[in-house]
Amino acid sequence: MKQARVLILLITLPCFPLAAQEMPVMISVEGGTFTMGDNTGNDDEKPAHSVTVKSFRLARTETTVAQWRAYATAVGLRMPEVPWFGLEDRQPIVNVSWDQANAYCQWLSVTTGQHYRLPTEAEWEFAARGGNKSRGYAFSGSNTVDSVAWISSKSNGPAPVATKKPNELGLYDMTGNVWEWCSDVYDAQYYATGKKEKPKGPLKGMFYTLRGGAWDQGPGNNRIPYRNPLAPTSRNHNKGFRVAAD
């Protein structure tokens, strides 16, 4: 069961008030029905199918270095390995695995008294497409990728968050900058057999899914429906996450 991978944090962990830059700004996403996937895309993006998600909240930006540092300081955790481009406060945190991202969500939940988690793939894609305000863009917020995303040939590492235009919901960097972990176990055939109401992905599998592309990927891998499976212990310089909440 995928729930078995979640790292349980004790509520006795030290808690302290978080500064504004250490807290995610959450955007309310009204629930709705949308077409998930792409019949002209990769095989694991097919078939395009109707999916309904309930209302939820999603962080305005990817989790930043400053936000992760607050967590690391609170629990006595070493910061991730510093890549060649550094770890500046307003950059998205990288070198974070699925397991570590979930541990952060649990700590943030305990510290704030609110329930934070990783978004499902369906929630992520719905929000990236602009939710009920969607204008049908190819990338999150525009058909012109450079206006909304940091992608390959445009940067030598992730940029500070929220330096490009947001999408229709006010979410930044849903395309490009860093890959974002979702809560779902990956299954290449799931779209043909999965639930159409509030899907949460398969119950078991070896890999989890990342979405959104990254600063070192071309436009094709930065398309909204593109799916990137990876082992939950994997981490490197182009993978991070953003938090969701009910």
Domain ranges of the chain: 2-245
Q: Is 70 exceeded by the pLDDT of residue 177?
A: yes
pLDDT band at 195 (very low <50, low <70, confident <90, very high): confident
pLDDT of residue 1: 44
pLDDT band at 12 (very low <50, low <70, confident <90, very high): very low
pLDDT of residue 155: 72
How many alpha carbons lie under 13 Å from residue 105 in its C-beta half-sphere? 27
Tell me the two tokens of residue 37.
């996937």
pLDDT of residue 8: 43
Helix axes 98-112, 65-75, angle to 10 degrees: 80
Q: Is 80 exceeded by the pLDDT of residue 165?
A: yes
Average pLDDT over the chain, rounded to whole?
A: 92
Q: Where are the beta strands (DSSP E) in the chain?
A: 26-29, 32-36, 49-53, 56-59, 116-117, 179-185, 208-211, 228-230, 239-240, 244-245
Q: Is 70 exceeded by the pLDDT of residue 173?
A: yes
Q: Is 80 exceeded by the pLDDT of residue 153?
A: no
Q: How many C-beta atoms surround the C-beta of residue 50 within 10 A?
A: 11
Write down the H helix ranges in the chain: 65-75, 98-112, 121-128, 145-148, 190-193
Tell me the two tokens of residue 47.
């078939």
Beta bridge partners of 211: 180
pLDDT band at 5 (very low <50, low <70, confident <90, very high): low
| Stretch 112-136: mean pLDDT | 97
Assigned fold of 2-245? paralog of FGE (formylglycine-generating enzyme) (3.90.1580)
pLDDT of residue 16: 56
Share of the chain above pLDDT 70, in %: 93
pLDDT of residue 194: 87
Separation CA 24–CA 109 (nearest Å): 12
pLDDT band at 240 (very low <50, low <70, confident <90, very high): very high
Q: Is 70 exceeded by the pLDDT of residue 214?
A: yes
| Stretch 42-70: mean pLDDT | 97
Q: Is 60 exceeded by the pLDDT of residue 51?
A: yes
Share of the chain above pLDDT 90, in %: 87
